[in-house]
Structure 1
Amino acid sequence: MVIVLKNQLRIVKKNIRQFIENITSLFSSKISDLLLAILLIPYLISKVGIENYGRYVFALSLTLFLVNIINYGFDLSAVRELAKNRHKPKMLKKLLNKVLSVKLYLTILMLVILFVVVFTIPLLRVEKTMYFFALFLIIGDLFSLRWFFMGIEKMKYIPIINVGSKLLYVFLVIIFIKQSEDYEIIILLEGIGLFIVNIFSFLYIVRKKRIRIKLISFYKVKCPVLK
C-alpha cells in the first residue's frame, strides 16, 4: 500500500512539474515576442518611416492570415492525436508525415491565392516585390513543429525556437535595414529567420525520432487530416 501511494505521489509530482514547465515555456515565448517588438518597432519606424512601416505591417497581416488558415486546427486535433500516441513510434511518424503533407498542399494553395490577390488589386500590385518576399514567411512556417512539441509535451523547445528565429531576424534587420526603401525586405528578413530556425528544428526531430519523410497523396489527405 505504501509503495503504491509513493508511486502515485511520484506520478502526481511529475505531472505538476511538467505542467509548470509547459506553462513557463509558453509564457516565456510570449514575453520574448513582446520585448523584441518593443525594441524593434521604434527602430524600424526610424529607418523606413511610419508610412512604409504601415505597408509592411499590412503585408505581414495578410501573410499571417494565410499562415493561420494553413495551421487551422493542427494545434488542437494534431496535438490531441499525438498526445494519445506519443509512445507509439509508428503512429508518431505517420502523423508527422500526414500533417506535413496537408500543410504542404495548403501552403501551395495559399501561395496561389496570395499571387491572385496581389495581382488583382492595384494597390497591392505596386508592392508585388514585398509580397513575393512574403513567400519565405509562409514556406518557413511549413516546417514549424510547434504542434509536435505540444503533443509530446516538450514545450521547452518552443521558446528556444521562437527566440532563435526572432534574434536572427533582429540581427538581419540591424545589418540590412538602413533607409526608407528597405521596407520591402523587412518581411523577407523575418521569413529567412523563421525558415532557418524551423528547418533546423525539423531536421533535428526527423533525425532524433528516425522519421522517414514520405509525402502522402493529395487524394488520401483531402479528408480531415486526423480522420
Structure 2
Amino acid sequence: MARVALVTGGTRGIGGAISRCLKDKGLSVAATYAGNDEAAAAFRHETGIPVFKWDVTDFEACERGVRQVESEIGPIDVLVNNAGITRDGFFHKMTKDQWSLVLDTNLHSLFNMTRPLIEGMRARAWGRVIVISSINGQKGQLGQVNYSSAKAGDIGFVKSLALESASKNITVNAICPGYIATEMVQAIDPEVLKKRVLPQIPMGRLGLPDEVAKAVAYLASEDASFVTGSTLTINGGQHMV
C-alpha cells in the first residue's frame, strides 16, 4: 500500500509542486488549502489529488482535518508543513496583527499540524516530517522581522523534534528556499528582479518550484532514512551556511 502524504498549502506555488511530485513518486497525497476555493478546485481537477480546506492556525480544525484525511485515505506517513504567509513591514511600524498572523501561520501551525500525527507515526515506527522554512529564517531580511522570526523558529522546531523522534524511525528536516519562481515572486516588478534580486544570486536565476519539490521527495523517501535534523538550503548560492 502506498504511503500517505499530507501537504499543507499544497494546491499552489511550491506546495502545488510538492503535491504533484510526491504523487508522481507513488505516494497517496492530500493537499490542504486555506481560502482560494477556485484554485483548489482547479488543482483537484487537474491532478486528481484530493483537497481539504482548513485553517492551520486553528488547532481543533487541524485535528479534525487530520482525522478526516486519515479516515478517507489512510494513516499519514509524511507531513509537509508548507503553508505560509507574509505580512511585511518595518518593525517600528508593524501592527500586532501583522506579527501574530505570520507567527501563527508560519510557526505555530507546525505544532497544530504535527501534534495530531506524531503519536501515530511513533506507534508505527515510521514517519517523515518536512518543514518548508526560508533563507530569511537563516539570514534575516529587512521588513520581515515577523516572517524571519517564524522561519528561524521552524528550524529550531526541526532540530528538537528530530532528536525526540529518531529512535522511532521518524525523520524531521527543514528546507530553506531562496527566491523561487512562484506567482508571488514573479509579480515583483521585472526591473526590481533584474537589478536588485538576481544580482544577489550567484547562479543568476530564480529557483524552480520543482527543484524544491524534488528535494522534499528525497527527504520523504527511504533513501533519506539517515537524514534527520538537517536544514537543506536551495537558494542558488545566495546564502551559504
Fold conserved (TM > 0.5)?
no
The structure with more strand, counted as a fraction of residues: 2
TM-score, L = length of structure 1: 0.31
TM-score, L = length of structure 2: 0.30
